[in-house]
């Protein structure tokens, strides 16, 4: 999952970035509103965490403009002004949830996960599809109740596919959503991860959870529960 | 006497009545005495004429021949003008042909050389004492008496009085009417000003715009700058508080993060967290207190319905997982005399609390009776705990595990205090908690 963090305070920005990176997110950062708006409109992000009090372009303005240009990723606003007027304004502009500063790491992660889940159409913290279950809080995966050990990157690929279960996801999309702009990418690696996931989740090849669509990409094909 | 108009009218009518009354009385008095004087002069003239026509008769007494009577009325018994001459003993020695048998007044002799004019009953009388030298050049004393019926004089006076008071009354009414019009005209700017201030209160305009008479200009100018200053100040104040909150809380957030991540020793972590959360609570409380505007002058009533709609719409997003259903029962026309920011805080905190604790339903209702607004927020959650009153105290959270600000109810309680309102925590008919708030509309 790829997250955009727009926060002008360097220390807090670094902290939020670290929290999210540790959680397996590819994180893009912007220090001011202008840069933030550009990224929000151009980058293939899954979630944005936006501070409301920003220099140049305000957080609310960014959200409004991004929504206007058709971006539908979930937005979590960070606000120090705990006045309801600004919260309501932010939510009306298109944000999906708010978090008042100062906050705990767990609070930030819980909200972020919940928003991502919701945007993929899942209502529980554990994504269950067929015998496969992915616990977004514990970051663990099990098949028919048996735990499956995945590397952090394998987990990220699975989480993305499962969150968007039923949709065709191209290799480019997967790469874009798992790496930031600055990271080196190799879409061939994706094939390797998909292959490994198939063998770990479905060693007997009876489930066939991931379908390869030639020239288009991959699709998670087990039904949601 | 609460209005300027009533005061002015009262004073004007009082002065006018006194003036008209005095004026009328004076005019009447003047006319009366001049008419009396004229009457006296007339009778005196008649007396001279009579004396001029008098000559001694065969007895040597004074008499006037009928043919030489100076006024024909003296010959007519019904004319109301009669004359007589009496001697020094009061005996009648001559009477005009008009002299009635019942001379209405006493025939008393009068001192020589003196006039006496008076009004008695229905008559004016003029008596004149004189000395007459008879043929033997012996002086004799006579008294000439003339009486005239005063009916016509009285009638004249009545006519005059009627005319006088009629005109004066008319003039008074006309003056009052003019006064009313003048008053209306000169108070128009004040009425206009009051209307403009109402519009400003209702947020329909930003300043006093019309042109006013020079006496009022300093006042309207001062009012305009006051309104401007107050509005700007409120905005500046809110912005400054917002900036302060931002610049205090961002480093606080960093400190929180550093404590969570980098402090490995758990006792030390606890030691840092405790003062940190205290700083946070104090900052929250003081900022919130400072941001509470309270009832302000020249700010109009705020409609609650749109606020409730906006906030519940926003909260529906936040609690999308639960699928909270908000039912809002507020008349769109209902307005409360309060600051909009304050109402946002009030409804925001209460609805957030209700949405946080409910299972599915949150209901908001507002009743207005006797200028008291009764706001109820219900939810179908577990309801308030036993010691619910504590929740209203600053800093106590019902459950600090639930993420969010937690001190919502205490914030509402503080806010309600500023508006002299009451807050009660009850059990809701929906099964959960009900917050009941009463404030003046």
The reply to whether A183 falls in a domain is yes
- Whether B70 and chain A come into contact, CB under 8 Å, resolves to no
CB pairs under 8 A between A and B: 104
- For residue A177, being part of any structural domain is answered with yes
For B171-304, strand residue ranges (E) read 302-303
Provide the CATH number for the domain around residue A60: 3.40.50.2300
How far is the CA of B75 from the CAs of B36, B62, B144, B169, B371, in angstroms? 24, 18, 17, 44, 91
Between CA B388 and CA B426 the distance in angstroms is 9
Q: Which residues of B touch A82 (CB under 8 A)?
A: 245, 284, 287-288, 405
Tell whether A144 and A94 lie within a shared domain.
no
The residue of chain B with its CA nearest to that of A7 is B250
- Answer yes or no: is A225 within a domain: no
Residue-wise pLDDT tens digits, B205-223: 888 888 899 988 999 999 8
pLDDT of residue B393: 67
The pTM for the full model equals 0.67
3-state secondary structure of B261: helix
Closest-approach residue (CA) in chain B for A54: B246
CB atoms A100 and B260 under 8 Å: no
Q: Min CA distance, B438 vs chain A (Å)?
A: 21
Based on the fold, state whether residues A115 and A198 are members of the same structural domain: no
Confidence of residue B403 (pLDDT cuts 50, 70, 90): very low
Chain A window 76-115: which residues touch B at a Cβ cutoff of 8 Å?
A: 78, 80-88, 91-92, 95-98, 100-105, 107, 110-111, 114
CB atoms A98 and B318 under 8 Å: yes
A157 — contact with chain B (CB < 8 Å)? Answer: no
Structural element, H or E, at residue B219: helix B217-262
Please say if the pLDDT value at position B182 is more than 80.
Answer: yes
**A111 & A143 share domain:** no
Task: Check if A72 contacts B (Cβ < 8 Å).
Answer: no
Residue B33 has pLDDT above 90, yes or no: yes
State the number of CA atoms in the 13 A half-sphere of A26 facing the CB: 22
List B residues 268-297 in contact with A (Cβ-Cβ < 8 A).
Answer: 276, 280, 284, 287-288, 291
Q: Is residue A165 part of a domain?
A: yes
B250, B257, B348 member nearest A80 (Cβ): B250
* Residues of chain B positioned with their CB less than 8 A from the CB of A19: 257, 261
Which of B260, B291, B320 is closest, CB to CB, to A104? Answer: B260
Residues A148 and A41 reside in one and the same domain: no
Per the CB < 8 Å rule, is A9 touching B250? yes
A182 & A163 share domain? yes
Q: For chain A, how big is the Rg over CA atoms in Å? A: 18
pLDDT exceeds 70 at position B310: yes
Query: Residues A29, A53: contact at Cβ < 8 Å?
Result: no
Q: Is the pLDDT of residue B203 over 80?
A: no
Identify whether residues A138 and A31 lie together within a single domain: no
Is B401's pLDDT higher than 50? Answer: no
Residues A130 and A76 in one domain: no
Asked if the Cβ–Cβ distance from B261 to A18 is below 8 Å, we say yes
Q: Answer yes or no: is A215 within a domain.
A: yes
Long-range contacts of B121-124 (CB under 8 A, 24+ apart): B122/B149, B122/B150, B122/B151, B123/B147, B123/B148, B123/B149, B123/B150, B124/B39, B124/B40, B124/B43, B124/B148, B124/B150, B124/B153
Q: Is A8 within a domain?
A: yes
Q: Which residue has the higher pLDDT, B141 or B203?
A: B141
Verify whether the Cβ–Cβ distance B404 to A100 is below 8 Å.
yes
Res B1: pLDDT: 67
Cβ within 8 Å of A, B 371-430:
403-405
Name residue, tokens 């006024």: B71
Chain A residue with minimal CA distance to B322? A123
Please tell me whether residues A46 and A106 are part of one structural domain: yes
Task: Tell me if chain B has a CB within 8 Å of the CB of A18.
Answer: yes
Instruction: Say whether pLDDT at B398 is over 80.
Output: no
Mean pLDDT of B276-299: 78
Closest approach of B250 to chain A, Cα-based (Å): 6
pLDDT of residue B14: 92
Residue-by-residue pLDDT tens, chain A, 225 positions: 899 999 999 999 999 999 999 888 999 999 999 999 999 999 989 999 999 888 888 899 999 999 999 999 999 999 886 678 888 999 999 999 999 888 888 889 999 999 998 888 887 888 888 899 999 888 899 998 889 899 888 898 999 999 998 889 998 888 888 887 777 777 778 888 899 999 888 888 888 889 999 889 999 988 887
CB contact under 8 A, A82 and B245: yes
Of A119, A144, A171, the one marking the end of a domain is A119
Question: What are the DSSP calls for B314-374, one per residue?
Answer: HHHHHTTTTTPEEEEE--TT-EESS-HHHHHHHHHHHHHHHHHH-SSEEEEEEEEETTEEE
Regarding whether A84 and A180 lie in a shared domain, the answer is no
Residue A142 resides in a domain: yes
Residue B406 has pLDDT above 70, yes or no: no
**Three-state helix/strand/coil letters over A99-126:** EECCCCHHHHHHHHHHHHHHHCCCCCCE
Average pLDDT, chain B: 85
Of A74, A102, A119, the residue at which a domain comes to its end is A119
CATH number of domain containing A171 = 1.10.10.10
The answer for B 323-382 residues in CB contact with A (under 8 A) is 340-341, 344-345, 347-349
Closest-CA distance, A112 to chain B, in angstroms, reads 12
**A115 plus A146 within the same structural domain:** no
CA–CA gap between residue B348 and residue B404 (Å, rounded): 12
Partner B contacted by A195 (CB < 8 A): no
Q: Note whether residue A114 is domain-resident.
A: yes
- ipTM of predicted complex: 0.82
Q: Do A82 and B320 touch (CB under 8 A)?
A: no
Interface contact flag, A102 B249, Cβ < 8 Å = yes
pLDDT at B405 > cutoff 50? no
CB contact under 8 Å between A9 and B256, yes or no, is no
Q: What is the rounded CA–CA span in Å between residue B351 and residue B307? A: 11
pLDDT value of position B337: 83
Q: What is the Cα–Cα distance from A8 to A21, expressed in whole angstroms?
A: 18
Nearest CA in chain B to A74: B317
**Which of A119, A151, A184 is the last residue in one of the domains?**
A119
Residue B15's contacts (CB-CB under 8 Å, 6 or more residues apart) are none
Are residue A136 and residue A107 in the same domain, yes or no?
no
Question: What is the number of domains present in chain A?
Answer: 2
Tell me: do A21 and A98 sit in the same domain.
Answer: yes
Of A18, A78, A82, the CB nearest to B284: A82
Q: How confident is the model at residue B407 (pLDDT cuts 50, 70, 90)?
A: low
- Report the pLDDT value the prediction gives residue B24, as an integer from 0 to 100: 93
What value does the mean pLDDT take over residues B169-174? 92
Q: What is the mean pLDDT of residues B187-208?
A: 86
Q: Which residue has the higher pLDDT, B78 or B365?
A: B365
Nearest to B347 by CA among B307, B381, B296: B307
Residue among A76, A81, A137 with most chain B CBs within 10 A, to mutate: A81
- Enumerate the residues of chain B whose CB falls inside 8 A of the CB of residue A85: 340-341, 344
Domain span at A32 = 2-119
């Amino acid at each position: 999952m790829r997250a955009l963090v727009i926060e002008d305070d360097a220390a807090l920005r670094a902290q939020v970035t670290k929290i999210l990176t540790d959680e397996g997110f590819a994180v893009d950062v912007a220090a001011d509103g202008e840069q933030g708006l550009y990224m929000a409109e151009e980058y293939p992000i899954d979630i944005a965490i936006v501070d409301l009090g920003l220099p140049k372009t305000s957080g609310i303005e960014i959200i409004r403009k991004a929504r206007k240009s058709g971006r539908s990723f979930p937005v979590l606003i960070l606000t120090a002004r705990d006045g309801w007027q600004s919260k309501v304004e932010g939510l009306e502009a298109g944000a999906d949830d708010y978090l008042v500063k100062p906050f705990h790491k767990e609070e930030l992660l819980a909200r972020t996960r919940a928003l991502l889940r919701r945007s993929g159409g899942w209502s529980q913290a554990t994504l269950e599809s067929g015998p496969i279950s992915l616990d977004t809080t514990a970051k663990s995966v099990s098949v028919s109740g048996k735990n499956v050990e995945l590397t952090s990157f394998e987990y990220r690929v699975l989480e993305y596919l499962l969150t968007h279960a039923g949709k065709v996801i191209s290799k480019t999309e997967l790469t874009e959503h798992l790496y930031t702009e600055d990271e080196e990418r190799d879409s061939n690696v994706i094939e390797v991860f998909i292959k490994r996931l198939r063998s770990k989740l479905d060693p007997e090849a009876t489930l066939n959870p991931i379908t390869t669509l030639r020239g288009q990409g991959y699709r998670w094909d087990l039904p949601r529960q | 006497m609460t209005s300027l108009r009533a005061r002015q009218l009262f004073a004007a009518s009082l002065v006018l009545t006194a003036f008209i009354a005095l004026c009328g009385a004076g005019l009447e008095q003047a006319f009366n005495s001049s008419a009396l004087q004229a009457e006296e002069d007339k009778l005196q003239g008649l007396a001279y004429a009579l004396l001029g026509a008098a000559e001694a008769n065969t007895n040597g007494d004074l008499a006037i021949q009928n043919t030489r009577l100076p006024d024909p009325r003296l010959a007519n018994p019904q004319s109301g003008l009669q004359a007589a001459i009496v001697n020094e003993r009061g005996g009648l020695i001559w009477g005009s042909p008009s002299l009635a048998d019942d001379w209405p007044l006493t025939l008393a002799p009068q001192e020589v050389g003196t006039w006496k004019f008076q009004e008695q009953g229905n008559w004016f009388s003029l008596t004149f004492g004189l000395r007459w030298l008879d043929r033997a050049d012996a002086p004799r004393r006579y008294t000439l008496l003339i009486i005239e019926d005063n009916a016509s004089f009285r009638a004249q006076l009545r006519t005059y009085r009627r005319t006088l008071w009629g005109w004066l009354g008319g003039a008074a009414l006309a003056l009052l009417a003019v006064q009313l019009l003048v008053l209306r005209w000169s108070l128009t700017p004040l009425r206009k000003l009051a209307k403009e201030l109402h519009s400003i209160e209702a947020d329909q305009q930003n300043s006093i715009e019309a042109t006013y008479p020079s006496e009022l200009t300093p006042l309207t100018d001062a009012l305009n700058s006051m309104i401007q200053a107050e509005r700007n100040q409120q905005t500046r104040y809110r912005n400054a508080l917002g900036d302060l909150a931002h610049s205090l809380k961002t480093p606080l957030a960093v400190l929180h993060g550093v404590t969570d991540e980098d402090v490995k020793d758990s006792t030390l972590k606890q030691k840092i967290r405790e003062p940190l959360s205290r700083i946070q609570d104090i900052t929250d409380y003081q900022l919130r207190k400072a941001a509470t505007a309270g009832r302000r002058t020249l700010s109009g009533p705020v409609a609650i319905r749109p606020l409730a709609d906006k906030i519940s719409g926003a909260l529906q997003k936040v609690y999308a997982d639960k699928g909270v259903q908000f039912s809002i029962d507020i008349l769109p026309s209902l307005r409360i005399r309060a600051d909009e920011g304050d109402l946002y805080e009030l409804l925001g905190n209460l609805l957030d609390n209700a949405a946080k604790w409910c299972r599915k339903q949150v209901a908001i209702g507002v009743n207005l009776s006797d200028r008291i607004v009764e706001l109820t927020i219900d939810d179908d959650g577990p309801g308030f705990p036993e010691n619910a009153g504590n929740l209203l105290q600053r800093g106590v959270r019902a459950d600090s595990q639930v993420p969010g600000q937690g001190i919502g109810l205490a914030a509402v309680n503080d806010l309600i205090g500023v508006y002299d309102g009451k807050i009660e925590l009850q059990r809701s008919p929906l099964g959960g908690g009900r917050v009941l708030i009463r404030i003046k509309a």
